[in-house]
Amino acid sequence: MFIETETTPNPMSLKFLPGQQVMHAGTREFTSPEAAANSPLAQAIFDTGEVSNVMFGRDFVSVTAAPGVNWTDLKPVVVSILLDHFVSAAPLFAAGDASGIPVPQEDALLVDEAPEDAEIITQIKELLETRVRPAVTGDGGDISYRGFSAGVVYLTLQGACSGCPSSTATLKHGIEGLLKHYVPEVTEVRAA
């Protein structure tokens, strides 16, 4: 087995491609060792003591090094952990899949959405799913919709995109411009 690595726009994050499916659907982000307790793989990566974020995507694992950590030393350790996991065909989650693990509270809506905005919200979510998510996951991250109110769309960037130096530009110039173009009711995009 060979694990490929790719750089991401975030210099502190690398994207690891094991050449096989990681998640059946969606993504799962772990922002602390405590959050990773239900995933033996995420826990093993956090156990290095040099990691601040782990995210599983459909066919990748993105890992963000803790501040001050050098990828030259950390990369072979992470590759070794990933190889051990995928070669042994160990489960990704202690419960066998992610369905038994509670979704973090930070995925909840931040605002009360008006029922009359239902059609606008559907358009926003469709654009995020079809136009934005593929680009963001290509960079080792993901995006979560957190609400729409009074023209403002609230989003959270995850994985390698969380804390990326270009995340503000991604939200304000990329995503905001796209949403404003297709959904005139959108006036602004804010990071949640």
Gap between the Cα atoms of 74 and 71, Å rounded: 5
User: What is the location of CATH 3.30.1370.70 in the chain?
Assistant: 4-100
Residue-wise pLDDT tens digits, 82-120 = 999 999 989 999 875 554 444 554 457 778 888 999 999
Q: What is the CA radius of gyration of the chain?
A: 17
Q: Which two tokens stand for residue 175?
A: 């995503």
Q: Which CATH number does the domain 4-100 belong to among 2.60.40.1120, 3.30.1370.70, 3.30.750.24, 3.40.50.11540?
A: 3.30.1370.70
The top-level CATH class assigned to 105-191 is alpha beta
For 2-51, the pLDDT digits (tens) are 999 999 888 999 999 999 999 988 889 999 999 999 999 999 999 999 99
